[in-house]
Chains A and B, each alone.
Chain A
């Protein structure tokens, strides 16, 4: 085994790329959950975004249109979830799971004619001399635009939730929808907007996979990324900047796993492959372990109305 072959610089650089899809999806889901809705359909929305983005990028020759189409596709799919859960008051858990299954099927149907095709290339941004700074330059300034937009989105989400009136309304709806309703806020409208934002973000995450990271289309290519995104939201106790940390941690484990294998680590690959999921479980256990006061930690941060249906009586 030769661990010195693993370069920390390149590891960090590819970690940022590997984390981008799950970061996008997790940010979207965070906003959804902050509004009090639990949408388990992230995986379905991601893969739908992946094929919508891929198909449009191939047809138009423009990755930008592809990403726009991915966001629209994800948002439309999430709207189905929104209508079912917000107007018809269906169970959110069951509807979300159904959305995942539906999305997987829909995407393989849409993707029939797109297997084995090369999408138009996405250029990396050119930072000129910045990219030549040792270590930092390679890690931070050698990526494509989406990586930076995602980081900006992360900071933006944090700022909006923390400092703006819109963020306050969103949180109010998520913490106590009856009180928010009594104050005159349109609970259902706020939640629908949040759900669509979540769908658009998941769609973008999927398109990042199919247009930049791989770049190719195959059935089921998200391979569980949506579930990891869901876990990251809990892991981050519903805070945007911790979502960033969580996404990098998970992205890092994925990349490190392959690098260790390439470096000839002697432990069986199966252990390495399951390590991200083991860490998810471990973190969830630690997060939800009761504190001295007796309250579970995770429940302290979860929006109080998470997963509860709202129905105005008049």
Chain B
């Protein structure tokens, strides 16, 4: 066979496959773009659990595909395009940095539905969804403030984006509330997943006297570093990380995406899918608090659980005034609670946190 004939054959085959996908195929194809490996034990692991739950729920009616460790930026656009071309009906892009690539690809594929996690840019075929992790951070801050003996809490932050800054603020004010002497040291790792860097950052914080490590990065490396150091407590991030319980991991924030993913896939199947903005917290179950281990005294555990319950039923908002910004200017008056708009774009520290947010 001549080369040209082969090429022509390949083009014809391609046309056939895409044609088949276009005219209402039986299976709904759902794609997932992951920022880390599915075995990271944190963020991506939980998104993958959501994917598996979709498969379990719909069985033969659904086909899921995923691509892991996709870098944020130009590469992401290529990968998302590829996934849209392969006939996906619904694509979940599961990291903040995929926001612009997702919207760029969505503009080119009006018939494909997109769901972008933790972002704020929407279109007719792009929804956004996120969890109110800061509610979980409030519970962590409470436990951290009670548990620290050195009054120094280390915080491994990823990127200076509103989601991360919200977490730092929420943890800080709740630690401060129960322990006025508490100080936060924040290290910006500029990565979501880099065990070597995360371990180094945790070690540096511990060496400077921090005996509580909070992390907003996805690997279990800081847990390992804390375990090595001994008398340091940590919290599981995004996933339970219970293999490090009861010490150093004393509790965790667990992301539970499964119900949302199932609901959205169902909407696509039923043809009722619409562009929405979902932001759920502890109440609806999108954010879970992992079991508080025995390393935490019973009274602190009870307080933390009470705090969790008040967050769940909506009787308490983590950002309730009076609160001031870092520069001393007023933010929330007595009894006032933060509105979602401000929270979604939060780019300032609250009063008492030292250091600057990098640009």
| Known contacts A5-B209, A115-B40, A116-B37: A264-B200 contact under CB 8 Å | no
Is A7 a contact partner of B41 (Cβ separation < 8 A)? no
A261 on interface, CB distance cutoff 8 Å: yes
A216 neighbours in B (Cβ, 8 Å)? 195, 199, 219-221, 224
Docked complex Cα distance between A6 and B208 (Å): 6
Residue of A nearest to B194 (CB): A218
Which chain A residues in 221-271 approach chain B with CB under 8 Å?
221, 223, 254-255, 258-259, 261-264, 266, 268-270
A108 to chain B, nearest CB (A): 9
B69 neighbours in A (Cβ, 8 Å)? 219
B204 neighbours in A (Cβ, 8 Å)? 14, 255, 258-259, 261-262
Is B354 a contact partner of A116 (Cβ separation < 8 A)? no
A213 on interface, CB distance cutoff 8 Å: yes
Docked complex Cα distance between A216 and B37 (Å): 13
B259 on interface, CB distance cutoff 8 Å: no
Is A215 a contact partner of B224 (Cβ separation < 8 A)? yes
Residue of A nearest to B199 (CB): A214
Docked complex Cα distance between A112 and B226 (Å): 26
B22 to chain A, nearest CB (A): 34
B143 on interface, CB distance cutoff 8 Å: no
Among A115, A214, A254, contact of B39 (Cβ-Cβ < 8 Å): A115
Is A259 a contact partner of B208 (Cβ separation < 8 A)? yes
Using a CB–CB cutoff of 8 Å, the interface residues on chain A facing chain B are 5-7, 10-11, 14, 18, 115-118, 209, 213-216, 218-219, 221, 223, 254-255, 258-259, 261-264, 266, 268-270, 273
For the A-B complex with A116-B39, A223-B196 known, give 15 more contacts whose Cβ atoms are closer than 8 Å: A6-B208, A116-B41, A116-B220, A118-B224, A213-B199, A214-B195, A214-B196, A216-B199, A221-B195, A223-B194, A223-B197, A261-B204, A264-B354, A269-B190, A269-B358
Using a CB–CB cutoff of 8 Å, the interface residues on chain B facing chain A are 37, 39-41, 45, 69, 154, 185, 187-188, 190, 193-197, 199-201, 203-205, 207-210, 219-221, 224, 243, 354-356, 358-359
> Which 4 residue pairs spanning A and B have beta carbons closest together?
A116-B39, A258-B204, A115-B39, A216-B195
Could you pull out 10 A-B pairs where Cβ atoms are within 8 angstroms? Answer: A116-B37, A116-B41, A116-B219, A117-B39, A214-B221, A216-B199, A218-B219, A259-B204, A261-B188, A269-B188
